[in-house]
Each structure stands twice: as C-alpha cells, then as structure tokens.
C-alpha cells in the first residue's frame, strides 16, 4: 500500500504509516495526468516528509513529468526529460531515500536512473514496450500519460530489459477507463489518459519480451527485481505461462471491471502465451 503526497502528510504521519506497513508515497505533479488536479507544485515544500521517509526507509514513487508550460516550450513529448533534474536533485539531497521513477518512456530517463545509483529504480509498462508516438497520435485507445515517445526511446526501454538491469522492473500502470471515456472527446474535454492491460499483463509481457529476444529476462523483470528493490520476500506463489497450441486472441468485447465493460490493450490481436491455469 502507498500514500499520496499531499499538504496533509507530515513526518509524524510517515512514521505512523511505516509502522502500519505502508511501503511508499506516490507523487503526482499537478495537472499532468487524469485526476491529478490535486497534485503537488513544489518538492522543496515536502523535504521534511522526504527526510522522514529516508529515516524509516519508505519508497518515494514519482510520476516523472512536469506540467505543460508553453512559455518554456514544455509539452507532453518533453515533459519527462524536463522532470529529470528534479529526480537528480531529490537523489542528491536524500541519497538514502529509495526512489522509483514510474512508467519511464525515454532514453533520457533510463540514463538518468542508471546514473543515480542503487537507491533509485524505474518501472516500465508493458504497453510502452509496444507503442511509439505514431500509435497514439489520432488513436485515443493508445493515449496514456506519459505518452509513448520515439522509436529510439522505445528501444532504450527494450535494451535495458534485455540487459537484465536489476533496477528496472515492471509497473503495469493499468488504467480501466470505460469506453465512453476513452473513445470520445469534446472541444472542452479530451479522452481519459490510460491503457488497460491487467487481464493480459503477463502473457502480453512475455509476448513482447520474446519479440526482442529478452524472454529469458521475464522473471526478473516482472517479479524478482521489483521485490528486491521494495525489500519484499517471495511468498511462495508462482505463476506459470505456457505456449498454447494456437495463439490467444485478446477479446474485443472487453472485460468486466466494477460492473463496467473495459476494453483491453491490443484488443483483437493475438498473443503467443497464456497463463497455465
């Protein structure tokens, strides 16, 4: 479980949360993604909270973008690289604070995390291993925050997984927005940002890792590396994937989520792996 960084969060609340088994704190900058209007505007205002987190060994989870700012040429394609100085500054100020840069999408982010050292890690979503900017421009079902970037950025994500780097691991960032929020927009309101992968996450991840020669890195990427960084021991449960006699087609009629029908990523496409039930 995690808390959300807000003005109500204090060092004492951090210590109580740690004692209650809370593992981390999630931070959204204001206005960068769906439902982030209550996000933060200044990290310096929370330095006492970060000091307490470092003291009790909690994890800071960062949505690594800054808000768009036309005056400074900040937009959705460079919002992540523009955030990275904040990451470096936080790491330099709190070198023992464990930080996870979530759902990275750029080569710059991969290089920044590598440069920070052992207390800084990074999650990568499965859908960002498949998408580039061409896939979401004009296609609302592939629109998420942070948006998928250039082919070279996608290659950097694939390469660090194929490398087996232990500080880069899966973070699904699965967002179950119903079709009416994903497929429509108005002049005053765009579509919801988010991609739904939960029902197919492990088979899809195996399918994509195999496509770029990294299937042997699957267990580390989806399980071991994240557990190790969060200091969570294995619980003995295992999930086994198998290759079916014929490829599985991802349902186009969606899955039921909280009494709503949600359309998954890659609906209608085929996967070479399934969970062995």
For residue 184, what pLDDT band results from cuts at 50, 70 and 90? Answer: confident
Residue of 40 and 215 predicted with greater confidence: 215
Is 40's pLDDT higher than 70?
no
What is the value of pTM for the model shown?
0.94
For residue 4, what pLDDT band results from cuts at 50, 70 and 90? Answer: confident
- State which H helix or E strand residue 163 sits in: helix 151-163
Mean pLDDT of 216-232: 97
How many Å apart are CA 167 and CA 160, to the nearest integer? 10
How many Å apart are CA 232 and CA 218, to the nearest integer? 18
- State which H helix or E strand residue 121 sits in: strand 120-124
How many Å apart are CA 143 and CA 124, to the nearest integer? 16
Residue with tokens 């996450």: 201
Beta-bridge partners for 168 = 122
pLDDT tens digits, 111-169: 999 999 999 999 999 999 999 999 999 899 999 999 999 999 999 999 999 999 999 99
Residue 103 has which token pair? Answer: 């759902």
How many Å apart are CA 112 and CA 91, to the nearest integer? 11
Torsion of CA 28, 17, 175, 118, to 10 degrees: 70
8 Å CB contact between 118 and 91:
no
What does the radius of gyration of the chain's CA atoms come to, in whole angstroms? Answer: 19
Residue 72 exposure: Cα atoms within 13 Å on the Cβ side: 9
Most confident of 3-17, 23-37, 112-126: 112-126
Residue 232 exposure: Cα atoms within 13 Å on the Cβ side: 15
Top CATH class of 2-238 equals alpha beta
* pLDDT > 70 in the chain, percent: 96
Mean pLDDT of 88-110: 98
The set of residues, in sequence order, having a beta carbon less than 8 Å from that of 136 and lying 6+ positions away, is 142, 143, 144, 147, 148
Mean pLDDT of 70-92: 95
Please give the pLDDT value at position 91: 98
SS3 152: helix
Mean pLDDT of 186-211: 94
Please give the pLDDT value at position 235: 87
Is 34's pLDDT higher than 70?
no
Residue of 8 and 204 predicted with greater confidence: 204
How many Å apart are CA 56 and CA 23, to the nearest integer? 10
Closest among 59, 53, 54, 55 to 99, alpha carbons compared = 59
Domain boundaries, the chain: 2-238
Task: Provide DSSP, 132-148.
Answer: -HHHHTT-GGG--SSPP
How many Å apart are CA 63 and CA 125, to the nearest integer? 13
Please give the pLDDT value at position 272: 96
Residue of 254 and 42 predicted with greater confidence: 254
Please give the pLDDT value at position 36: 46
- The CA-based angle 227-258-59, given to 5 degrees, is 25
Residue 243 has which token pair? Answer: 């290759």
């Amino acid at each position: 479980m995690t808390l959300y960084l807000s003005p109500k969060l204090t060092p004492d609340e951090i210590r109580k949360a740690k004692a209650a088994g809370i593992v981390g704190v999630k931070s959204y900058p204001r206005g960068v993604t769906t439902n982030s209007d209550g996000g933060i505007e200044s990290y310096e205002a929370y330095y006492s909270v970060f000091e307490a987190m470092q003291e009790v060994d909690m994890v800071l989870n960062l949505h690594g973008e800054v808000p768009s700012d036309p005056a400074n040429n900040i937009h959705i394609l460079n919002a992540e690289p523009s955030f990275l100085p904040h990451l470096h500054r936080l790491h330099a100020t709190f070198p023992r604070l464990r930080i996870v840069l979530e759902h990275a999408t750029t080569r710059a982010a991969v290089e920044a995390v590598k440069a920070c050292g052992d207390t800084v890690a990074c999650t990568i979503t499965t859908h960002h291993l498949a998408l580039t900017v061409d896939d979401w421009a004009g296609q609302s079902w592939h629109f998420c925050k942070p948006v998928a970037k250039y082919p070279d950025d996608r290659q950097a994500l694939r390469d660090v997984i194929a490398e087996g780097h232990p500080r880069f691991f899966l973070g699904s960032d699965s967002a179950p927005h119903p079709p009416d929020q994903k497929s429509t927009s108005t002049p005053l309101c765009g579509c919801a940002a988010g991609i739904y992968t939960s029902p197919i996450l492990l088979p899809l991840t195996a399918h994509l890792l195999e496509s770029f020669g990294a299937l042997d890195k699957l267990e580390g990427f989806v399980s071991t590396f994240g557990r190790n960084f969060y200091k969570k021991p294995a619980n003995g449960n295992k999930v086994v994937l198998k290759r079916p006699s014929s490829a599985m087609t991802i349902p186009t009629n969606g899955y039921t989520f909280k009494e709503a029908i949600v359309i998954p990523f890659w609906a209608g496409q085929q996967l070479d792996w399934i969970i062995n039930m």
